[in-house]
Chains A and B, each alone.
Chain A
Amino acid sequence: MNYLVGLLSVVFFILAIAVISKSLKLNKNLSGENESDSALDSHNNTNAVGFLLFWLFGTIAGVWSFIHAQPDFLPEAASEHGVRTDSMFWISMAIVTLAFFITNSLLFFFAFRYRNDNNRKATFYPVNHKLEIVWTIIPAIVMAILVFTGWRTWRDITSQAPSNAVVIEVTGHQFGWYVRYAGNDDSQLGNVNYKLIDETNNLGLDFSDKNTFDDFTANELHLPKGVPVLLKIRAQDVLHSVYLPFQRVKMDAVPGMPTKFWFTPTISTDEMRAKLGKKDFNFKLNCTEICGRGHFGMAITVFVDEPADFKKWTSEQKPFLTMNPAYLTKVPENLKAKASKYIPAEPIATDSTGTEAVSIK
């Protein structure tokens, strides 16, 4: 393929030079001092026809390429709000494509139709207030409708998360995502403090907060289907952005400023696999804010489970404190009793909670 490109560019370059030298020569031969100085030349009609051909082939290429690319667009949205924004997207797209097509067609058609003709004179037509008012008002009305529907959707998407929402924390770092759940006993995420971060406690969990004790972390994001999920989003070093393409979720992760996004997944991983006929299909969480060398590979796998499966999965997860009992020393005296119930009788092997990004070579 690279040879092809190289060859193409070389061929093209030679062609270009040939064309120039030829036309320059031609020009030299023609450029007698007495030559008419008109800006018009014999190519005027060619250029006019060019616009018509451009319109024709452009339309064909546009339609063909759209039909060709369409199967590879993101499939049906896998979240409640995503279905809404998708349908709004395609409606807006239809409106703007119509405007795009009509205006471009007029432009190219007029260019062709009103090409120079020495027997004709252009029409002196400097202004028409009625026309101007009409085409100011029509876009204004269309915009107003689009803005209003867009605003209502935006307002609903960004409203307060329902009280039954499952709270999950996602933290971006160079180059991966940490996922933390509020635990099986309380549904409260404990505090974190970036100054407490160390090699094992890579979220900076604050063990002076009793809500932290049952929090557990994961290498992948599990979401319950049909239940509102509130993502609490953090970043540790630079900006990142949580992007769940299929759930149509995107929100920046900002160091020092927690952000959030709530949504309701509607299609489970299994259903999506069946729908797409791909047995190994998985949802992904990607990064969409430039964050350095490994930006493009900063992804983890997302599983949308049936609510029962989700419950089962969470109940199998062990709190961070259970996995790393050494952190009991960080718990203040008055909470030690509470915390020690998470400490297993037999110490188990420590485990790093770090999530690995897709390997970056």
Chain B
Amino acid sequence: MSTAISTTEEVHAHGHDHDHDHEHEHHELGFIRKYIFSEDHKTIAKQYLISGILWAFIGGSLSIIFRLQLGFPDMSLEWLRPILGEWIDESGKLDKEFYLALVTMHGTIMVFFVLTAGLSGTFSNFLIPLQIGARDMASGFINMLSYWFFALSSVIMFSSLFIETGPASGGWVIYPPLSALPQAMPGSGLGMTLWLTSMALFIVSQLMGGINYICTIINLRTRGMTFTKMPLTIWSFFFTAVLGLLSFPVLLSAALLLIFDRSFGTSFYLSEIYIQGQALPNMGGSPILYQHLFWFLGHPEVYIVLLPALGMTSEVIATNARKPIFGYRAMIGSMMGITVLAFIVWAHHMFVTGMNPFLGSVFMFLTLIIAVPSAVKGFNYITTLWKGNIVFTPAMLFSIGLVSLFISGGVTGIILGNSALDINLHDTYFVVAHFHLVMGAASFFGLMAGVYHWFPKMFGRMMNKTAGYIHFWLTFVGVYAVFFPMHYTGIAGFPRRYYSFTALGNDGEAAFTDLNAFISVAAIITFSAQAIFFFNFFYSIFKGKRATQNPWKSNTLEWTTPIVPGHGNWEGEIPAVYRWPYDYSKPGAESDFIPQTVPHSATPESNLPEENDEIAKEKDIEGLLAAQNESYNR
């Protein structure tokens, strides 16, 4: 990190004369400011990534424990007693409440801590400044706060795993009254308080992050980087941030009202309750209100998780197919469509909650509309591969895997979004299969694609490719082996969050004993396969092969920085941008890629007719240099 220089210093070094009326900081940052309380977006991104990986390990382990129960209901789990202690009951079985706690915490951790913070937090932070040509985020300080609020929220959530009454156990949606009444289940006591506290801090962190991403994208683009020249990654981060900024506050209000109901005797969600031999005084509240508020975030959350993955995949697929992304504007348009529609489909999670059926019809219409932009995205990815010249890097493999999972999980959404069909499928394994494929696995594959692709930029070293291939194939086969058969148990009517299926009666559970065991074994193998990634990742940080300037021959701006970019990202001027990021395999061009920094005047042999008009604008773009430096120098 010897290249760390402050922006002011850099501008100064390039001989722009201005008044020296402010203090220049020339000192090296100490360890704490550099690696822990860092304001550098790259360090913050790495902090998010490593936190996300650790959380993924915890979240995955929890799922393995409950898969043991589901796949092998007769198995003695006595050997887990050293870890789980009292959560293994006298007969050597998993405690029934702890089973629900596992399901709840698995969902919470994966959705929020891994796929929101670990995915969007990492790559929005890392890529936004690097790909739009900015020295850092709009506010490095708020960015740092964002991570540390997340870290605090992580510590609280993590600590809730160890308390005697257990962590929150009412499902990741924490529907009241179950979550509001400690007498309903032990997990609704201290565990739920910690859950709510942790999520409130998490939301604060998300909002600070989101505001920063939006400000940075709007204000700090380098000269020439118009909105229609931005890589699709940046577009996806932008929409993600907008979604988060508008929907997370609603979750906060839902959580606050729940806190009031739990602690201050209000009745927002509680009415006419008789529990444990006691009639509660609460009247007039509505559990349905909570569900509306929750899903007003909950549904956009699906896209908060998925859009960054789709954005990064667009970039990786175009780069490695050596072809422009097909339908760049259609991709932006469909992401925009998804963003808008994401806000008005939430009640499709509530068709059979007792909500007015007319409302159900409205939400069915809106929900099935959102399938159209999603389908367009799928088709565009496939067409991008068509007649490409595909290089299968591990990132590319994971991106293709994402497209496959996105399609496979997406199509069943058409069935679940149909309220008449949802009656029988609601809260069955069909739903579990659907959202794990389309949101869980697809986003996870996006995360992996991002790590493999941008690892060289993050750490200046390469990850081992062979280990990457093995990791991909095991994971890809494994994910399908786990989630595809779940559709079958769903069609057979198996409800989710069931400790065992014996009460379905008529030996119904016997038919799928083998299948459930198969799913569990597949889950264990898939989870174990992540060890390959784990080792590869940490080994390569220190011992990986040194990266080259532009290992994937990509067009985007981040590959014009030094191999290990220092503070401020570019040592000289920030480069100007003259073209879109997808000029791969352009007819007439010598090389099969033309970076965004190459002006059209330098490539007369490959310019399309309309691009010759762009040459005239190059002077204007150059003219913005002084203004740009001025803005950093202010």
Task: Indicate whether A146 sits within 8 Å of B531 (C-beta atoms), given known contacts A100-B411, A248-B424.
Answer: no
Q: Does A9 count as interface, using CB distance less than 8 angstroms?
A: yes
Q: Which residues of A contact B529 (CB under 8 A)?
A: 12, 16
Q: Does A20 count as interface, using CB distance less than 8 angstroms?
A: yes
- List B499-529 residues whose CB lies under 8 Å from chain A: 499-506, 511-512, 515, 517, 520-521, 524-525, 528-529
Q: Which residues of A contact B397 (CB under 8 A)?
A: 47
- Roughly how many angstroms separate A254 CA and B485 CA in the complex, as a whole number? 32
Q: Indicate which residue in A37, A73, A257 contacts B271 across the interface (CB closer than 8 Å).
A: A257
Q: Indicate which residue in A8, A82, A289, A296 contacts B501 across the interface (CB closer than 8 Å).
A: A296
Top 4 closest pairs, chain A to chain B, by CB: A256-B271, A158-B357, A72-B511, A259-B354
Query: Interface digits, B286-309 against A, CB 8 Å rule (1 contact, 0 not)?
Result: 111000000000000000000000
| A143-B492 in contact (CB<8A) | no
Q: Which residues of A contact B171 (CB under 8 A)?
A: 290
Task: Indicate whether A92 sits within 8 Å of B418 (C-beta atoms), given known contacts A39-B393, A296-B499.
Answer: yes
| B493-A256 in contact (CB<8A) | no
Q: Does A344 count as interface, using CB distance less than 8 angstroms?
A: no
Select the stretch in A50-58, A180-188, A212-220, A328-336 that faces chain B: A50-58
Q: Does B548 count as interface, using CB distance less than 8 angstroms?
A: yes
Q: Does B480 count as interface, using CB distance less than 8 angstroms?
A: yes
- Roughly how many angstroms separate A148 CA and B541 CA in the complex, as a whole number? 54
Q: Indicate which residue in A23, A146, A286 contacts B368 across the interface (CB closer than 8 Å).
A: A146
Residue of B nearest to A294 (CB): B96
Q: Indicate which residue in B328, B392, B484, B528 contacts A13 across the interface (CB closer than 8 Å).
A: B528
Q: Does A345 count as interface, using CB distance less than 8 angstroms?
A: no
Q: Does A106 count as interface, using CB distance less than 8 angstroms?
A: yes
- Roughly how many angstroms separate A127 CA and B286 CA in the complex, as a whole number? 50
| A39-B552 in contact (CB<8A) | yes
Q: Which residues of B contact A357 (CB under 8 A)?
A: 503
Q: Does A150 count as interface, using CB distance less than 8 angstroms?
A: yes
- Roughly how many angstroms separate A24 CA and B480 CA in the complex, as a whole number? 28
Q: Smallest distance from the beta carbon of B605 to chain A beta carbons, Å?
A: 13
Q: Smallest distance from the beta carbon of B134 to chain A beta carbons, Å?
A: 27
- Roughly how many angstroms separate A147 CA and B413 CA in the complex, as a whole number? 13
Residue of B nearest to A8 (CB): B521
| B420-A117 in contact (CB<8A) | no
- Roughly how many angstroms separate A95 CA and B375 CA in the complex, as a whole number? 14
Interface centre among A103, A257, A278 (most CB of B within 10 A): A103
Q: Smallest distance from the beta carbon of B607 to chain A beta carbons, Å?
A: 12
Select the stretch in B2-10, B21-29, B315-323 that faces chain A: B315-323
Q: Report the interface size for chain A: residues with CB under 8 A from the other chain.
A: 132
| A24-B424 in contact (CB<8A) | no
Q: Which residues of A contact B528 (CB under 8 A)?
A: 9, 12-13, 16
Q: Which residues of B contact A117 (CB under 8 A)?
A: 389
Q: Does B539 count as interface, using CB distance less than 8 angstroms?
A: yes
Q: Does B214 count as interface, using CB distance less than 8 angstroms?
A: no
Q: Which residues of B contact A146 (CB under 8 A)?
A: 368, 414, 418
Q: Does B100 count as interface, using CB distance less than 8 angstroms?
A: yes
Q: Indicate which residue in A74, A111, A135, A255 contacts B273 across the interface (CB closer than 8 Å).
A: A255
Q: Does A208 count as interface, using CB distance less than 8 angstroms?
A: no
Task: Indicate whether A27 sits within 8 Å of B585 (C-beta atoms), given known contacts A135-B376, A194-B272.
Answer: no
Task: Indicate whether A92 sits within 8 Å of B414 (C-beta atoms), given known contacts A100-B407, A237-B184.
Answer: yes
- Roughly how many angstroms separate A123 CA and B506 CA in the complex, as a whole number? 59
Known: A43-B466, A107-B407, A297-B502. 10 other contacts (CB 8 A): A27-B545, A69-B491, A85-B423, A121-B585, A150-B420, A155-B357, A236-B275, A239-B287, A256-B270, A292-B100
Task: Indicate whether A66 sits within 8 Å of B488 (C-beta atoms), given known contacts A2-B76, A44-B391, A85-B423.
Answer: yes
| B178-A150 in contact (CB<8A) | no
| B421-A147 in contact (CB<8A) | no
- Roughly how many angstroms separate A229 CA and B569 CA in the complex, as a whole number? 70
Q: Does A327 count as interface, using CB distance less than 8 angstroms?
A: no
Task: Indicate whether A255 sits within 8 Å of B382 (C-beta atoms), given known contacts A39-B320, A135-B375.
Answer: no
The 23 sampled A-B contact pairs (Cβ below 8 Å) are A5-B524, A16-B470, A39-B552, A65-B488, A69-B515, A103-B407, A115-B390, A121-B389, A126-B326, A127-B326, A127-B327, A128-B326, A136-B372, A139-B372, A233-B354, A238-B177, A256-B287, A259-B354, A281-B506, A286-B495, A289-B427, A294-B96, A297-B503
Q: Smallest distance from the beta carbon of B533 to chain A beta carbons, Å?
A: 10
Q: Does B426 count as interface, using CB distance less than 8 angstroms?
A: yes
Query: Interface digits, A125-142 against B, CB 8 Å rule (1 contact, 0 not)?
Result: 111100110011001100
Q: Smallest distance from the beta carbon of A195 to chain B beta carbons, Å?
A: 5
Q: Which residues of A contact B324 (CB under 8 A)?
A: 124-126
Q: Does B329 count as interface, using CB distance less than 8 angstroms?
A: yes
- List A237-271 residues whose CB lies under 8 Å from chain B: 237-239, 241, 243, 245, 248-252, 254-257, 259
Q: Does A343 count as interface, using CB distance less than 8 angstroms?
A: no
Task: Indicate whether A2 sits within 8 Å of B75 (C-beta atoms), given known contacts A158-B360, A236-B273, A237-B184.
Answer: yes
Task: Indicate whether A292 sits within 8 Å of B178 (C-beta atoms), given known contacts A44-B391, A114-B389, A127-B327.
Answer: yes
| A114-B551 in contact (CB<8A) | no
Q: Smallest distance from the beta carbon of A25 to chain B beta carbons, Å?
A: 10
| A110-B524 in contact (CB<8A) | no
- List A259-303 residues whose CB lies under 8 Å from chain B: 259, 278, 280-282, 284, 286-299, 301
| B532-A16 in contact (CB<8A) | yes
| B427-A47 in contact (CB<8A) | no
Q: Which residues of A contact B389 (CB under 8 A)?
A: 114, 116-117, 120-122
Q: Smallest distance from the beta carbon of A194 to chain B beta carbons, Å?
A: 5
Residue of B nearest to A85 (CB): B420
Q: Indicate which residue in A110, A135, A239 contacts B175 across the interface (CB closer than 8 Å).
A: A239
| B184-A89 in contact (CB<8A) | no
Q: Which residues of A contact B279 (CB under 8 A)?
A: 194-195, 197
- Roughly how many angstroms separate A26 CA and B464 CA in the complex, as a whole number? 10
- Roughly how many angstroms separate A36 CA and B263 CA in the complex, as a whole number? 65
| B392-A47 in contact (CB<8A) | yes
| A5-B488 in contact (CB<8A) | no
Task: Indicate whether A237 sits within 8 Å of B274 (C-beta atoms), given known contacts A85-B423, A107-B382.
Answer: yes
Q: Smallest distance from the beta carbon of A340 to chain B beta carbons, Å?
A: 28
Q: Does A104 count as interface, using CB distance less than 8 angstroms?
A: yes
| A252-B352 in contact (CB<8A) | yes
| B364-A124 in contact (CB<8A) | no
- Roughly how many angstroms separate A284 CA and B587 CA in the complex, as a whole number? 67
- List A153-194 residues whose CB lies under 8 Å from chain B: 153-155, 157-158, 173-174, 194
Interface centre among A100, A125, A358 (most CB of B within 10 A): A125
| A124-B391 in contact (CB<8A) | no
Q: Which residues of B contact A154 (CB under 8 A)?
A: 357, 360-361, 364, 418-420
Q: Smallest distance from the beta carbon of A198 to chain B beta carbons, Å?
A: 9
- Roughly how many angstroms separate A171 CA and B582 CA in the complex, as a whole number? 61
Residue of A nearest to B414 (CB): A96
| B76-A26 in contact (CB<8A) | no
| A124-B505 in contact (CB<8A) | no
| A124-B421 in contact (CB<8A) | no
Q: Which residues of A contact B414 (CB under 8 A)?
A: 92, 95-96, 143, 146
Task: Indicate whether A151 sits within 8 Å of B503 (C-beta atoms), given known contacts A96-B415, A252-B354.
Answer: no
| B467-A24 in contact (CB<8A) | yes
Q: Which residues of A contact B288 (CB under 8 A)?
A: 254, 257
Q: Indicate which residue in B364, B551, B582, B592 contacts A150 across the interface (CB closer than 8 Å).
A: B364
Q: Does A325 count as interface, using CB distance less than 8 angstroms?
A: no
Residue of B nearest to A263 (CB): B423
- Roughly how many angstroms separate A248 CA and B369 CA in the complex, as a whole number? 26
Q: Indicate which residue in A143, A282, A293 contacts B96 across the interface (CB closer than 8 Å).
A: A293
| B506-A282 in contact (CB<8A) | yes
